[in-house]
Amino acid sequence: MSTPEAFDVTVVGGGSAGVAAALAAARQGARTLLIERQQLLGGMGTNAMVHTFCGLFHPDVSRGPQWLNPGIPSEIGMALMQRSGIHKADLMGRVYVLRHRPADLAQLTAELCAEERHLTVLTATEVTALAPGWTITLGDRTIHSRAVIDTTGEALLARLLGDTHWDLAASARLYRPAYVWSFHGLKDELDEPLRLRTAALIVRAVKAGALPAAALGTTLRASPAKGEVFVSTDLEAGGDRWDPTDSDQRLHLESEGRALAHAVWDFLHSSHPSFGSITPPSLPVHAGVRESARWLGDYVLTADDLIRSRRFDDEAALAGWPLEMRETARGPKFRYFDQPEPAGIPSSCLRSSSLPGMFFAGRCLSCDHEALASVRVMGTCLATGQAAGQMATAFRP
């Protein structure tokens, strides 16, 4: 075993929340370590090809797109717009969203982290053990850290500590995972009529037995890059047996997603003239998992808090995305806030007073299953990550 290395703040998980947490801590002068098990930073927004940032804008769309959380969320949003040549967010029904290219997010997050002299980034590195105090094990390396932030999206650090500090919804209710992939070379613009015609073609192909039933609900969305298209399919993933913390089930999900992507690609390429010259599918590093284990902190944010736009004295961030429930693979059910006003996320959702020096943010913050349908979106994850980074920096044992 090598000599332990010391950091003020260690962030485990380099997705939206983790990158924001690490940048916030390092910018305040904390000696910060960011650990990510994949090669690229960006989490689902890079490795699972999630290609639209939600939760970045104020829910009152009558004001036009207004950044909701200052600091790193709007900084990253603006930088992504600049990189992809987008001048304005897209209004989709009652919400604004920002389309991005996963490769741009990977590059931007890597560059932002490289600029911070107090920040060390370890990619392709997995945390496997944790002891209170805090000592983190990475293979044969040991890290001592005054404060730790769990941004793994699956409350991994809580689960390493035992059964007390986390919760997981019943399998049948967990928001369904999905497989997202892309192709280039679409000759025509992917406008609404072509999108709808293609969706109808896929439905007919499923009914005729030319595509598996899992392809129902496949949607296409244009990338900010001309000719590039993202294709997404929600998967039932075993329904009431789905367990996102089970590695065998995750492996099965990957092979199901890959097979489906190839089947849909073959079908589009061979049966629709607009898709005759598209490139073979670019597959994600892994399938997208929407919901896994969540921390149980000092406060558990509820759907009611969000729907009523409740505000808190110890507010850490603002949420503005509606509750986007995806408990089946048949598409989302939206529940909007009663008023087009943001809701507060208190700092007590990002810590537990029984574990001093432990913080959590992003998809695994302390909220109930329904509230997660809103706060899991990447814009909100950037905001809670930023807040956790600031809280961890201020922490003194």
Ligand X SMILES: Cc1cc2nc3c(=O)[nH]c(=O)nc-3n(C[C@H](O)[C@H](O)[C@H](O)COP(=O)(O)OP(=O)(O)OC[C@H]3O[C@@H](n4cnc5c(N)ncnc54)[C@H](O)[C@@H]3O)c2cc1C
- Choose the binding region for ligand X from 12-20, 244-252, 272-280, 299-307 (rule: CB under 6 A): 12-20
- Choose the binding region for ligand X from 23-31, 51-59, 298-306, 343-351 (rule: CB under 6 A): 51-59
Type of residue at 244: P
17 binds ligand X (CB under 6 A): yes
Residue 297: HSE in the Cβ half-sphere, 13 Å Cα cutoff: 30
126 binds ligand X (CB under 6 A): yes
Tell which positions 272-301 bind ligand X, by CB under 6 A: 288-290
Alpha-carbon distance of 131 to 388, in angstroms, equals 20
**Which of 156, 158, 214, 355 is close enough to bind ligand X by CB under 6 A?**
156
Nearest distance in Å: CB 167, ligand X: 16
Instruction: Select 15 or 217, whichever has its Cβ closest to ligand X.
Output: 15
**Which of 377, 388, 391, 392 is close enough to bind ligand X by CB under 6 A?**
377
**Which of 106, 362, 389, 393 is close enough to bind ligand X by CB under 6 A?**
362
Alpha-carbon distance of 101 to 395, in angstroms, equals 36
**Which of 22, 30, 33, 54 is close enough to bind ligand X by CB under 6 A?**
54
Nearest distance in Å: CB 146, ligand X: 19
Nearest distance in Å: CB 208, ligand X: 27
- Answer yes or no: are the C-beta atoms of 349 and 366 closer than 8 Å: yes
Rounded CA Rg of the chain: 21
Nearest distance in Å: CB 244, ligand X: 10
DSSP string, 315-363: EEEEE-S-EEE-SSTT--EEE--SSS--EEEEGGGSB-TTSTTEEE-GG
302 binds ligand X (CB under 6 A): no
375 binds ligand X (CB under 6 A): no
DSSP string, 294-311: EE--SS-B-HHHHHTT--
378 binds ligand X (CB under 6 A): yes
Type of residue at 107: Q
Q: How many chain residues interact with ligand X (CB under 6 A)?
A: 38
**Which of 10, 32, 38, 386 is close enough to bind ligand X by CB under 6 A?**
38
CA dihedral 297, 342, 384, 124 (to 10 degrees): 120
Which residues neighbour 343 within 8 Å (Cβ) at sequence distance 6 or greater? Answer: 305, 306, 308, 309, 310, 311, 318, 319, 320, 337
Which residues neighbour 160 within 8 Å (Cβ) at sequence distance 6 or greater? Answer: 127, 129, 130
- Read off φ and ψ for residue 253, nearest 5 degrees: -60, -40
Closest CA to 323 of 314, 332, 315: 332
Instruction: Select 16 or 182, whichever has its Cβ closest to ligand X.
Output: 16
16 binds ligand X (CB under 6 A): yes
Planar angle of CA 256, 40, 45, nearest 5 degrees? 60
Q: Which residue has the tokens 């000696």?
A: 31
Binding mask 163-182 toward ligand X (x if CB under 6 A, else -) reads ---------------x-x--
Alpha-carbon distance of 285 to 386, in angstroms, equals 26
261 binds ligand X (CB under 6 A): no
Instruction: Select 102 or 344, whichever has its Cβ closest to ligand X.
Output: 102
Three-state SS at 182: strand
**Which of 99, 100, 363, 369 is close enough to bind ligand X by CB under 6 A?**
363
69 binds ligand X (CB under 6 A): no
**Which of 11, 24, 43, 231 is close enough to bind ligand X by CB under 6 A?**
43
Binding mask 304-343 toward ligand X (x if CB under 6 A, else -) reads ----------------------------------------
Instruction: Select 194 or 377, whichever has its Cβ closest to ligand X.
Output: 377
223 binds ligand X (CB under 6 A): no
Q: Which residues bind ligand X (CB under 6 A)?
A: 12-18, 35-38, 43-45, 48, 50, 52-55, 126-127, 151-153, 156, 178, 180, 288-290, 362-363, 376-379, 381
